[in-house]
């Protein structure tokens, strides 16, 4: 990302009942920044400050929809046709690389795109296969959607993809422990005490392996892609 040079146009000040904001237009990197007008210049706010809002950060551009559609379709195909056990203690839990294209969507297009792809994947998977039912689809969406939301957000805010991937892994694990305790007994009939006994030997390791493989593969693919494609939303 380039520096914070301002163009020659004056700042446009906006006032409401709560605060006064100043809109700065960068002439070099196209980023629109909103900072509280306290008599300080734009350069007083460090890069990555939460006061800096990036144009289009929370929405998708229509031109990205074809790419999002392709990545979502790839995710569904991988989810349906490629899956295998990775944990000897729980061979019924299957790893799938379906999250891989969703992670790419979240980093390349944005976190909203990743969440949308995760929702489409979880919904279409249960409609096509019937596996897991509505509860399974809900857990699938929360696990994948939460992970890619964090990955896309941190990647966009910091540019540190490796940090984003690590945070995504931890997010999936943090989500799946309470979700399994809350939801799994409902649709499996297992007592909650039995699920408690699975947290350390099964639930945590499986989600660590599942998210770990997909984030490592995604990171490798992102490094292999042309820099202009990966950096277009940075």
Q: Do residue 149 and residue 195 come from a single domain?
A: yes
Range of the domain at 127: 62-230
Q: Do residue 4 and residue 111 come from a single domain?
A: no
What are the two backbone dihedrals, phi and then psi, of residue 19, each rounded to the nearest 5 degrees? -155, 170
Task: Write the CA distances from 158 to 14, 97, 133, 199, 218, integer angstroms.
Answer: 27, 26, 37, 32, 18
Q: Do residue 33 and residue 111 come from a single domain?
A: no
* For the chain, percent of residues with pLDDT exceeding 70: 71
> In 10 A of CB 156, how many CB atoms?
18
* Residue 225: alpha-carbon gap to chain centroid: 19
What is the value of pTM for the model shown? Answer: 0.73
The last residue of one of the domains, among 55, 75, 96, is 55
pLDDT band per the 50, 70, 90 thresholds, residue 132 = confident
Tell me the C-alpha distance between 231 and 216, whole Å.
Answer: 19
Say how many domains are in the chain: 2
Q: Do residue 132 and residue 190 come from a single domain?
A: yes
Digit-coded pLDDT (tens) for 49-71: 443 435 555 567 888 999 999 99
Q: Do residue 125 and residue 181 come from a single domain?
A: yes
Tell me the C-alpha distance between 99 and 214, whole Å.
Answer: 6
Decide which of 216 and 48 is more confident.
216
Task: Write the CA distances from 8 to 26, 57, 115, integer angstroms.
Answer: 10, 25, 38
């Amino acid at each position: 990302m380039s520096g914070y040079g301002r163009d020659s146009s004056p700042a446009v000040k906006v006032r409401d009942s709560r605060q006064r904001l100043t809109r700065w237009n960068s002439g070099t990197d196209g980023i629109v920044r909103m900072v509280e007008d306290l008599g300080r210049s734009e350069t007083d706010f460090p890069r990555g400050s939460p006061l800096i809002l990036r144009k289009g950060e929370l929405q998708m551009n229509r031109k990205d929809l074809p790419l999002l559609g392709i990545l979502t379709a790839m995710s569904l195909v991988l989810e349906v046709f490629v899956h295998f056990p990775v944990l000897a203690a729980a061979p019924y839990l299957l790893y799938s690389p379906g999250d891989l294209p969703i992670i790419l969507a979240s980093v390349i297009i944005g976190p909203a795109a990743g969440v949308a792809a995760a929702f489409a994947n979880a919904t279409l998977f249960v409609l096509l296969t019937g596996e897991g039912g509505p509860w399974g689809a809900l857990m699938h969406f929360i696990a994948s959607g939460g992970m890619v939301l964090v990955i896309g957000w941190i990647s966009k805010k910091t540019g540190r993809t490796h940090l984003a991937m690590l945070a995504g892994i931890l997010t999936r694990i943090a989500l799946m422990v309470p979700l399994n305790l809350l939801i799994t007994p409902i649709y499996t009939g297992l007592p909650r005490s039995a699920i408690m006994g699975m947290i350390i030997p099964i639930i945590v390791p499986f989600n660590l392996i599942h998210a770990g493989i997909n984030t490592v593969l995604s990171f490798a693919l992102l490094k292999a892609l042309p820099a202009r494609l990966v950096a277009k939303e940075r």
